[in-house]
Every structure is written in C-alpha cells, then in structure tokens.
C-alpha cells in the first residue's frame, strides 16, 4: 500500500516537472515548481516511513520550510522588482 502511494505521488511530481519544463509563462512554471516541491517533501517523508529511515522526517520538514521561504521571496520580487523595498 505504501509503495503504491509513493509511486502515485512521484508520478504526479513528474507530471508537474513536465509543466515546469514547457510552461508558457513564468508564474505557470513557479506554481508547478511549488507543487513539485510539496509533493517531493511528502514523498521524502513517505520514503522514510517505508524504509524505516526516520531521519528523513527532519529532512522533509526542512525541505518544506525552505520551499516556503523560496516561493515567498520570489513572489515579493515579482511584486516589487526588488528585494530591499
């Protein structure tokens, strides 16, 4: 059951990767990259539970936090054209 769910999440991440590569606009690619990152964080945690590697829970947590900071900074840059105002 866990392997099936892991495969489905990774296939969904691959579909998002297609949109990142061939997306028409900048924000399309960014939305797909955000979705890709969240799916990969869930897949990291799922892999850690599946294989019994419990330190991967912390890796997934840090990955989600860094992804949030990244997307927030990119949104601010899109809005103002500068990061310091």
Q: Which residues bind another protein (CB under 8 A)?
A: 1-2, 4-6, 8-9, 11-16, 18-19, 25, 27-28, 30-32, 34-35, 38-39, 41-42, 45-46, 49, 54, 57-58, 60-61, 64-65, 67-68, 71-72, 74-79
Least distance CB 82 / another protein (angstroms): 12
Q: Tell me the two tokens of residue 28.
A: 């399309």
Least distance CB 84 / another protein (angstroms): 16
Q: HSE of 59 in the Cβ direction (CA atoms, 13 Å)?
A: 14
Please give the Cα distance from 6 to 11 (Å, whole number): 9
For residues 63 and 44, the answer to whether their CB atoms sit within 8 Å is yes
Q: Which C-beta is closer to another protein: that of 30 or that of 84?
A: 30
């Amino acid at each position: 059951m866990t392997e099936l769910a892991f495969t489905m999440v990774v296939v969904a991440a691959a579909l998002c990767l297609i949109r990142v590569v061939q997306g028409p606009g900048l924000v399309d690619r960014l939305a797909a990259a955000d979705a890709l990152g969240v799916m990969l964080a869930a897949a990291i945690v799922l892999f850690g539970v599946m294989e019994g590697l419990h330190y991967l829970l912390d890796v997934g947590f840090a990955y989600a936090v860094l992804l949030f900071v990244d997307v927030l900074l990119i949104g601010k840059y899109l809005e103002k054209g500068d990061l310091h105002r």
